[in-house]
Each structure stands twice: as structure tokens, then as C-alpha cells.
Amino acid sequence: MLLPFPPTVNSIWRKSRSGMYRHVKYLTWLEEAHRAVEGTLPADVTFDPVHVELRLYGRSRAKWDIDNRAKVILDFLQGRFLFDDAQVDKLTIRRGPLRKGLGGAWVILETMEQGALVCPAWPTA
């Protein structure tokens, strides 16, 4: 699925005298992202462990951290495709080429076989 370029996790919350609130840019992104997946939402969310691959395409040549965008997308997937973003057992994040003026996030979800991952160098006992 193709989502709009996500805001950084560092800018989604604002603080005021009355408490914390979501930034208007984040709320706008949520609306745009929901419209982008509206026709593709599954009947039920998955409860299986998943691999999420994110390919992030910037809007401009400005520098940005790819890890600050991942949490925003994972939170968005929760309740729409995943029961809980804690189901993500593998996360791959790649920076794609520039999409001038547009940006975007290509999201690929794959269910994984259940079972613990074991490093071959670890002792078995």
C-alpha cells in the first residue's frame, strides 16, 4: 500500500497548559493515510507475527531520519491491519529515491511463521 509521507514521531504531539494533544499536521496525515487505504482494509486484523517492509520516499532533498517515520506508520497499521504493532517481529526500512513534492511510504506486510527465532551461535541449553 502507498501512504503519504509520514511526519516524524518527534512532532506528532504538542504540549499546552491543558495537557498533551496531537499536532494538526499529524491529524491531517492520519486522514490522508486512511483515505489511501480505505478500499483495501481487511475484514479482520491479523494476530500473526508480521514482517513490515517500509520504503520511504522523501519529498525534497532535505535530510530526514528514516527511523523517526517508522513508528508513525506502525501505529497507523494498528487496528487497521494489525491487532497490535507489537506483532512486528521483523522491520525493514529502506530509503527510496526522491518523489519531488509528493514523498510517500510504500508499506509491505507479510505474515511470518510463528515460532522463536534462534541465533545459530547461541547455546541450545
pLDDT in tens, 65-86: 889 999 999 999 999 999 999 9
Kindly list the domain boundaries of the chain, sorted by start residue.
Answer: 2-111
The separation between the first and the last C-alpha atoms of the chain, rounded to the nearest angstrom, is: 42
| pTM passes above 0.75 | yes
Residue with cell 490522508: 32
Average pLDDT over residues 94-112: 90
Calpha distance 123→46 (Å, rounded): 33
Fold assignment, 2-111: 60s Ribosomal Protein L30; Chain: A; (3.30.1330)
Taking a C-beta distance cutoff of 8 angstroms, is the pair 67, 33 a contact? Answer: no
pLDDT for residue 122 is more than 70: no
Closest by alpha carbon to 88, among 105, 71, 65, 104? Answer: 71
